[in-house]
C-alpha cells in the first residue's frame, strides 16, 4: 500500500531470517495472491546453505513455491542453484548477497547459470555498480536498513563462537556486542581508548538523498532491509523511497528535509550512513556508542524528587510515546502513561515545556532523554496500510444494443481481460431510457474492488433500458473475474527431471595442503616436505615459490596459473583451481558444481562437522559415480569476519587515512567482555580479517576421514611462528 514493486517473504525453512515470524504455506498462498492482484511481485528467500540431508526437501519446497506462483526465489547455495535450474527451468532465480557476488567474473557466472538478478554486497561502491550495470545483469542494491560489518555469506563469527550460523539464518549479531581494541608492540600491551565499546556495530544504511545517483549508475532494484522490523518501519521507508524514485524519474525536485529525516529517525535508527556505496568510513560509518535504536533526543532530566522526574523538552512529547533515559549505569526505557505540566495531567507537551513523569525508573540529573517511538506517527503509518487503498487502473467497454445481451468488457494495464454479459436482453424503454451518464455512474462504483476505472467506452442504442441491479452485477462479476486472473502470473512453468552427469576421475592431490602468511611459515612447510603451499600474492611475489591463494574479495583479474580461490567468481573461467573453505561447500552438489568448472579439489566449509563431511563424500560418489578430491580442514585459526571496515584505522586514525600501515607495526586484537582475544589481520587492500581466539585442531579426525576416502588435509598458518608450524606439521605427518 506504500508503493513497493516487489516484496521479499521468508518461508518456515531455508531463509536467512530464521527467527522472523515467517510464512507457512497457506499464508504464503494468500500473500502471493494479494500482492499479485495489486501488481506487486513476490520473491521468496531460500538464501541459506543447504545441508546434505535437506537437498531433496528443499527442492520439493521450491517446487511448492513454484506452484504457489511466487515470482522468484533468492538463493545462496550454488549446488542447490544448479539443481533448481534443471528441475524448474522457468523459475526466476536471484543471487542473494549471501552468495558474495562482487566482481565481473561472479556476475558473468550468474548470467551463465541462468540467474536473472544479482543482489550486490553492501560493500559495493558506486563506481563498481556503474561498471557492473554494463554487463547485462539486473542489479539489486541495498539502500536502507541494517548493515553487516562483515561481507554477507563470509561471516562465521556467530556460527563458530555461539553455534548460530549466519549462513543458516541464525545470526546472533556478534557485531552488536561489546569489544575493546588491544595493541601489542615493543612497549607492551595496552587497551586503546577505553574498554568495551560497540566497535563492530555499523550505523543504519540510508541513501535516500542519493537515489538519483543510484538510478543513473544503472541500479535495477532498490532493496529495503526490514523483515525483522515492525510494519510501520517498512511502511515509512517504502513510502519515502517510492516518492524519491518517482520524483527523480519525473524530473521533479525531492528534498530530504530535516522533518523527513526526523520521521525516519523516530521509527528506527542507529545513526544513518550512506555506507560503503558512497565510501563512508570511521565515525561516518560506525556507531560504537549503542547498537540499538537511537530515536531522537527530546530533552534532559533537570531535576527529580522521590516521586517525580522533571524533563526540559526540546521536542514534543505525548502520552503513549516510548522514551529511553540514558544513564551512566544502565539505560531504561518505557512508554509514557502519565504526563504532567504544572501539576496537571496533559496528553501532549511541546518543546520548551518542563514536564514531569512519575519516578518509576533510576534518574540522574543531566541524563539525555530519547524518544524511541511516537504514538501519533505509528497510528498514521498503520492507517497507511489499513485504511488507505491502492487501486489498480482498469478500462471498461460497455455495449448495450436493443435485443441483445448487454456486454461489459474490462481490461487492466497488465493485459488481463474479463467479460460479463447481462442475463436479460436489452429492451426498449417504455418511459425513461437509461442514460449514458447513469451507466457511467454505476460502472464507476468500483470502490469495493481493487480497481479504479480510468476510462469507460460506451456503445449504447437510443431509447433502451436495463435494470440498474443488472449493471451492478455485471460490474461486480467482471471486476471479480479480472481480480482473480491477476492472482496467477506464471501459468506455464515446467518441472523437469534432473540428470546428473557422470564426473571424471581425478588425479589425487598431495596429502597435506598448507596455507601460509609469512616467510618463516613457508620455510617450515618446505622443510617438512609439503608439496602444495599456498600464500597471498604479495608473499608469492617475494618468494617466487609456492602457489597463489587469491583474496576473498577479488577485484583484479585472476592469474592464469593454478590458484586456490576463495570466492565463487573464481570458478568462471574454468581454469584449474582449488576451492578454499570460504566457497561454502556443505553438500555434495556444491562440490560437483565446482568440480564441473575445473576444480582439482574442494575444501569443505568450516561449518561442516566431520560427520557431515563424510556424508558429503559418500553422497558425491553415489550420485556422480566418481571419487572427488575433498580437502578436510584440520588446523588453523578460522577467519570469523571479513570487513571493509578497519577497527585499527578507525580508532587510531579515525579512518582519515587508508593504507596507514599501523597493522604492520604492532599486533592488534579485539577483546570481548569475557576476555576472549580475536587477533586481527589486515591485507594489502586494508580489509580487516578477524581470526578466532584459538586455532582449531582436528588432526584427530584424520583417521575417520580417511576411511571414507578423504585423502587431503588443509593446514592454515596465520599467527604461528616457525617452531609452532614444525610441531603441527609433525603431528599431521604422523596421522596422514
Residue 571 is part of which domain span? Answer: 512-637+695-735
Co-location of 368 and 244 in the same domain: no
Pairing type for strands 6-10 and 340-341 reads unpaired
- Domains in the chain, number: 4
524-574 pLDDT tens trace: 999 999 999 999 999 999 999 999 999 999 998 898 899 999 999 999 988
The cell numbers describing 625, all together, are: 559415480
pTM of the predicted protein model: 0.94
3-25 pLDDT tens trace: 999 999 999 888 867 777 889 99
Co-location of 397 and 369 in the same domain: no
Predicted confidence band at 652 (pLDDT cuts at 50, 70, 90)?
A: confident
672-730 pLDDT tens trace: 999 999 999 999 999 999 999 999 999 999 999 999 999 999 999 999 999 999 999 99
CATH of the domain at 370: 2.40.30.10
Co-location of 252 and 353 in the same domain: no
Domain boundary among 362, 386, 410: 386
Co-location of 364 and 230 in the same domain: no
Domain boundary among 242, 275, 308: 275
Co-location of 352 and 440 in the same domain: no
Looking at every residue in the chain, the average pLDDT score rounds to 95
Asked whether residue 123 is domain-assigned, the answer is yes
Asked whether residue 191 is domain-assigned, the answer is no
The cell numbers describing 511, all together, are: 596429502
Q: CA torsion angle for 657, 663, 666, 669 (degrees, to 10)?
A: 110
Domain boundary among 240, 275, 310: 275
Predicted confidence band at 176 (pLDDT cuts at 50, 70, 90)?
A: very high
Co-location of 129 and 87 in the same domain: yes
For the cut 70, the answer to whether the pLDDT of residue 656 exceeds it is: no
Asked whether residue 530 is domain-assigned, the answer is yes
For the cut 70, the answer to whether the pLDDT of residue 195 exceeds it is: no
Asked whether residue 251 is domain-assigned, the answer is yes
371-391 pLDDT tens trace: 999 999 999 999 999 988 889
Q: For residue 512, report the phi and psi dihedrals to the nearest 5 degrees.
A: -120, 125
For the cut 80, the answer to whether the pLDDT of residue 658 exceeds it is: no
CATH of the domain at 42: 3.20.20
Co-location of 128 and 253 in the same domain: yes
For the cut 80, the answer to whether the pLDDT of residue 186 exceeds it is: yes
Quote the pLDDT of residue 655.
64
Looking at the DSSP bridge assignments, the partners of residue 99 are none
Asked whether residue 286 is domain-assigned, the answer is no
Co-location of 143 and 261 in the same domain: yes
CATH of the domain at 586: 3.20.20.70
Co-location of 348 and 236 in the same domain: no
Asked whether residue 215 is domain-assigned, the answer is yes
CA distances from 732 to 8, 276, 527, 720, 736 (A): 47, 42, 14, 15, 6
Burial grade of 600 (CB within 10 A; 0-12, 13-18, 19 or more): middle
Co-location of 229 and 331 in the same domain: no
Co-location of 625 and 517 in the same domain: yes
Asked whether residue 18 is domain-assigned, the answer is yes
Asked whether residue 63 is domain-assigned, the answer is yes
109-119 pLDDT tens trace: 999 999 999 99
Co-location of 157 and 265 in the same domain: yes
Amino acid at each position: 500500500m506504500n508503493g513497493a514493486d516487489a516484496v521479499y517473504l521468508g518461508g518456515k525453512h531455508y531463509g536467512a531470517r530464521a527467527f522472523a515470524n515467517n510464512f507457512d504455506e497457506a499464508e504464503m498462498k494468500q500473500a502471493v495472491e494479494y500482492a499479485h492482484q495489486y501488481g506487486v511481485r513476490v520473491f521468496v528467500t531460500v538464501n541459506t546453505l543447504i545441508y546434505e540431508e535437506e537437498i531433496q526437501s528443499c527442492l520439493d519446497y521450491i517446487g511448492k513455491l513454484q506452484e504457489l506462483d511466487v515470482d522468484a526465489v533468492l538463493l545462496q547455495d550454488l549446488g542447490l542453484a544448479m539443481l533448481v535450474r534443471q528441475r524448474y527451468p522457468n523459475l526466476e532465480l536471484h543471487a542473494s548477497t549471501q552468495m558474495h557476488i562482487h566482481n565481473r567474473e561472479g556476475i558473468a557466472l550468474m548470467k551463465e547459470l541462468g540467474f536473472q538478478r544479482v543482489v550486490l554486497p553492501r560493500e559495493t561502491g558506486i563506481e563498481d555498480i556503474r561498471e557492473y550495470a554494463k554487463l547485462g545483469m539486473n542489479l539489486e542494491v541495498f539502500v536502507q536498513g541494517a548493515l553487516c560489518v562483515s561481507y554477507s555469506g563470509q561471516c562465521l563469527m556467530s556460527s563458530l563462537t555461539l553455534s548460530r550460523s549466519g549462513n543458516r539464518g541464525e545470526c546472533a549479531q556478534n557485531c552488536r556486542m561489546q569489544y575493546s581494541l588491544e595493541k601489542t608492540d615493543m612497549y607492551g600491551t595496552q587497551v586503546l581508548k577505553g574498554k568495551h565499546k560497540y566497535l563492530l556495530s555499523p550505523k543504519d544504511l540510508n541513501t535516500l538523498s542519493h537515489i538519483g545517483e543510484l538510478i543513473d549508475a544503472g541500479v535495477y532494484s532498490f532493496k529495503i532491509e526490514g523483515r525483522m522490523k515492525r510494519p510501520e518501519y517498512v511502511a515509512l521507508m517504502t513510502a519515502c523511497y517510492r516518492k524519491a524514485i518517482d520524483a527523480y524519474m519525473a524530473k521533479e525536485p525531492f528534498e530530504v528535509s530535516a522533518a523527513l529525516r526526523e520521521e525516519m529517525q523516530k521509527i528506527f535508527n542507529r545513526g544513518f550512513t550512506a555506507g560503503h556505496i558512497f565510501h563512508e568510513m570511521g565515525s561516518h560509518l560506525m556507531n560504537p556508542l549503542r547498537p540499538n535504536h537511537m530515536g531522537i533526543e527530546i530533552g534532559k532530566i533537570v531535576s527529580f524528587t522521590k516521586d517525580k522526574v522533571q524533563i526540559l523538552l526540546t521536542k514534543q512529547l505525548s502520552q503513549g510515546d516510548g522514551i529511553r533515559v540514558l544513564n551512566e549505569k544502565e539505560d531504561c526505557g518505557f512508554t509514557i502513561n502519565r504526563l504532567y505540566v504544572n501539576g496537571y495531567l496533559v496528553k501532549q507537551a511541546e518543546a520548551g515545556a518542563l514536564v514531569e513523569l512519575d519516578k518509576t525508573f533510576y534518574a540522574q540529573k543531566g541524563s539525555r532523554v530519547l524518544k524511541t517511538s511516537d504514538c501519533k506517527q505509528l497510528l498514521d503509518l498503520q492507517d497507511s496500510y489499513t485504511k488507505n487503498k491502492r487501486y489498480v487502473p482498469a478500462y471498461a467497454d460497455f455495449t448495450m444494443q436493443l435485443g441483445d445481451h448487454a456486454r461489459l468488457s474490462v481490461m487492466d494495464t497488465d493485459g488481463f481481460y474479463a467479460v460479463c454479459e447481462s442475463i436479460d436482453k436489452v429492451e426498449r424503454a417504455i418511459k425513461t431510457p437509461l442514460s449514458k451518464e447513469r451507466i457511467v455512474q454505476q460502472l464507476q462504483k468500483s470502490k469495493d474492488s481493487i480497481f479504479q476505472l480510468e476510462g469507460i467506452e460506451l456503445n449504447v442504442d437510443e431509447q433502451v433500458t436495463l435494470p440498474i441491479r443488472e449493471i451492478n452485477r455485471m460490474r461486480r462479476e467482471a471486476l471479480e473475474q479480472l481480480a482473480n486472473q491477476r492472482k496467477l502470473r506464471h501459468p506455464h512453468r515446467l518441472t523437469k527431471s534432473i540428470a546428473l552427469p557422470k564426473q571424471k576421475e581425478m588425479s589425487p592431490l598431495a596429502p597435506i595442503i598448507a596455507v601460509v602468511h609469512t616467510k618463516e611459515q613457508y620455510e617450515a612447510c618446505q622443510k617438512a616436505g609439503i608439496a602444495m603451499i599456498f600464500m597471498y600474492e604479495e608473499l608469492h611475489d617475494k618468494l617466487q615459490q609456492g602457489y597463489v591463494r587469491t583474496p576473498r574479495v577479488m577485484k583484479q583479474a585472476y592469474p592464469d596459473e593454478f590458484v586456490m580461490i576463495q570466492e565463487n567468481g573464481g570458478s568462471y573461467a574454468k581454469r584449474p583451481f582449488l576451492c578454499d573453505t570460504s566457497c561454502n561447500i556443505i553438500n555434495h552438489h556444491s562440490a560437483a558444481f565446482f568440480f564441473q568448472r575445473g576444480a582439482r579439489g574442494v575444501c569443505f566449509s568450516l561449518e561442516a562437522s566431520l560427520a557431515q563431511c563424510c556424508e558429503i563424500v559418500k553422497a558425491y560418489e553415489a550420485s556422480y559415480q566418481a571419487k572427488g578430491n575433498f580437502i578436510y580442514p584440520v588446523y588453523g585459526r578460522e577467519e570469523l569476519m571479513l570487513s571493509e571496515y578497519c577497527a585499527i584505522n578507525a580508532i587510531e586514525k579515525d579512518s582519515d587515512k587508508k593504507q596507514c600501515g599501523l597493522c604492520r607495526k604492532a599486533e592488534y586484537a579485539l577483546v570481548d567482555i569475557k576476555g576472549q582475544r580475536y587477533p586481527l589481520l589486515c591485507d594489502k587492500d586494508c580489509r580487516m580479517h578477524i581470526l578466532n581466539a584459538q586455532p582449531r585442531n582436528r588432526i584427530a579426525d584424520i583417521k575417520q576421514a580417511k576411511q571414507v576416502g578423504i585423502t587431503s588435509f588443509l593446514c592454515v598458518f596465520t599467527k604461528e611462528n616457525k617452531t609452532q608450524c614444525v610441531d603441527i606439521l609433525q603431528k599431521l605427518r604422523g596421522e596422514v
